[in-house]
Amino acid sequence: MKILVTGATGFLGRSLMRQRHTAELVGCSRSPCELFGPSYVQVDLTDGEALSKAFASLDPDWVVHTAALTDVDRCETDPSENRRLNLEMVAKVVEVCASQGIRLVHVSTDYVFDGGNGPYGEVDPPNPLSCYGRTKLDSEQLVLN
């Protein structure tokens, strides 16, 4: 089994890539990276054509999508970049995975909740208070659809 980890140079992606697995892990992100050697490819996930070619070439069974703009303050001050990286990029990943028959795990955030009644479970109603949280909730709905 081959698992592609997007956002492999970020905190969560890097942590996943360093775990021992029986599956073959391949990381990708937009930044160059030598940490993972041949188990890494540089790809701009916002470029649908490059994304499609990379996924087809790598032929993963699963994609674990950890790539995101997680700077909550920046998401508030730059809502268009927030939307581009936290929703539009997800739409491209979903589209390519669906067209190539790749299973997808999408990582969201606790910012989809308001913090008033935690800890939260999967069935608790979301109530995001920030631009980041609202966009991540929208990306969850996109993946579910």
Residue 21: count other Cβ atoms within 10 Å of its Cβ: 10
Nearest to 41 by CA among 19, 62, 26: 26
Measure the CA–CA gap between 85 and 61, rounded to whole angstroms.
23
Residues identified as active-site: 132
66-78 burial string, b = 16+ CB within 10 Å, else e? bbbbbeeeebeee
Count other C-beta atoms under 10 Å from residue 143's C-beta. 17
3-state secondary structure labels for all residues of 3-52: EEEECCCCHHHHHHHCCCCCCEEEEEECCCCCCCHHHEEECCCCCHHHHH
